[in-house]
Structure 1
């Protein structure tokens, strides 16, 4: 999985949009005008932030070394995923789906 794969997957979601509110180095994917994935472009290692149910967030951090508390985010609700090859692309897509679904379900 690479930046383009993640970008394409996020943009394939209904009503998803790509924004650059923090400048050219971080792509923010939104639905209903709310962020569901932040993708920095200026890191050596591919990583991104996704929203997560708080209980699941803790569980994933304990189970997977590539899942960290959300960098520069509310650590209760956000995880940083380091794309280091330790988990499958399918699982990464599931985490993106979870984030998208959480944000999509919120009222505008």
Structure 2
């Protein structure tokens, strides 16, 4: 099976399908920060032509992923226990990347106020 790496535009398009996901540039124009109700769940930066995306994850999952994939490492400039950096290469299948993005979004939403969580759940 041929693997393909999603390009930056496809990743952005996917992220923005999540309920109330917003794109912001608090760190300058080369760092795309995606938030839900003001809370960050993804950060994209391009390094040497490779798209890197920081995502939140459960510490045990993050550790396992980093040990299994060379394209996944502890979060760059983030809390390394709770965040991973995924280099979007052919090693990472599109479905897996989408799953990691969904998981990051869900972990952040889980920390929101109950009324906000319920409002977002209607759209999922």
For normalisation by structure 1, the TM-score amounts to 0.95
Q: Any idea what the Cα deviations from partners look like across 1:47-71, whole Å, max 9, x if unmatched? A: 1100111111101111111111101
Distance 2:51 2:15 in 1: 15
Q: Which runs of 5+ in 1 are unaligned?
A: none
Cα offset for 1:87?
2.0
Distance 2:24 2:111 in 1: 19
1:71 paired residue number: 76
1:89 paired residue number: 94
Task: Determine which of 3, 13, 19 is the counterpart of 2:18.
Answer: 13
CA RMSD of aligned residues (A): 0.9
Task: Determine which of 4, 9, 16 is the counterpart of 2:9.
Answer: 4
- Determine if the alignment matches structure 1 residue 47 to structure 2 residue 56: no
- Determine if the alignment matches structure 1 residue 57 to structure 2 residue 62: yes
Cα offset for 1:32?
2.0
1:24 paired residue number: 29
Distance 1:68 1:107 in 2: 27
For normalisation by structure 2, the TM-score amounts to 0.83
Distance 2:65 2:37 in 1: 26
Flag as ranges the 4+ runs of structure 1 deviating above 6 A: none
Residues paired across the two proteins, number: 107
